[in-house]
Amino acid sequence: MFKKCLLNAAALLMIVVSGPGFAQTQSEADAQSLLSAFASYTDLRIGAVGQNLGTLAATGEAKSGNWEKMKALLSGYQKSDGGLVVWFVRPDGTYYTADKGLMEVKLSDRDYFSALMSGQTISAALVVSKSTGQRSAVIAVPVKEGGKVIGAIGASLFLDRLSEQVGSALALRADAAFFSLAPNGLTTLHKKADRHFLDPRELGSETLKKAANEMLANPAGETAYEFDNARKKAIYRTSPLTQWKFAIIFDAAGQR
């Protein structure tokens, strides 16, 4: 299921970037098209993971609450997707991953945990994964039996890997880039993966700080700032799924 969705997203990106696109002309119309593709690709990726987890959570194996019974299902899904780790968590925070089994640490200290155990679906909560150490976005679905939450099935989606996929698909020219911000201002995706989880408002540029605040306060628009000794222009929009702010940026001097 995921591979089909990813192929559809890749096809969308190929349509956008083929011919005289953003990489060649850098026109605002091309930038808007790439912004739409960037946002659609990412939301489709996260949404597909959520749908797959929902399917797993509805199985008898998951509803049993028995790790040994559900392990094969979760392992099969993880093997089909190299960009995430799949897990099952109990109401006390004890959890198992598809590749490592029972973990020595718990998830009960995660900010999203109470909401998850109260029956809410989690979409793109930012964490450094306890099982892999990778910067990740958590997607998780409660497992219910008899109207009661008995646990949850989740996935930690690796942001470095997702950024690689986006960057490869967009194929932007050297003076262009992409990034996305969580509602709290942390960078979730970036052309340069070492920027993940950094707040652009803390990078020493007052104009970048102003631009980031503007992006966080508005659903969509354009802004400009100076960073890395260059004046940048950005167009942005908000994801209805994660509330992330997606942006395509380029050197303002290079616009033509």
Q: Residue 173 has what pLDDT?
A: 77
Strand partners, 227: 230
- Residue 20 contacts by C-beta under 8 Å, 6 or more apart in sequence? none
Predicted TM-score (pTM) above 0.75: yes
- The vertex-184 CA angle with 33 and 230, nearest 5°, equals 55
pLDDT at 17 over 80: no
Q: Residue 196 has what pLDDT?
A: 97
Polymer length in residues for the chain: 256
Q: Residue 69 has what pLDDT?
A: 98
Q: Which residue has the higher pLDDT, 255 or 237?
A: 237
Closest C-alpha among 215, 243, 210, 241 to residue 227: 210
Give pLDDT tens digits for 226-254. 998 889 999 999 999 999 999 999 887 65
Q: Residue 21 has what pLDDT?
A: 38
What is the pLDDT of the chain when averaged over all its residues? 89
Q: How far apart are CA 187 and CA 189, in angstroms?
A: 6
Q: Which domains does the chain have, with CATH numbers?
A: 46-159 (3.30.450.20)
What's the Cα-to-Cα distance from 136 to each of 12, 53, 96, 129, 209, rounded to whole Å?
A: 25, 16, 17, 6, 24
Q: Residue 254 has what pLDDT?
A: 52
Residue for token pair 């989606």: 157
Give pLDDT tens digits for 205-221. 999 999 999 999 999 99
pLDDT at 51 over 60: yes
The one-letter code for the residue type at 162 is: L
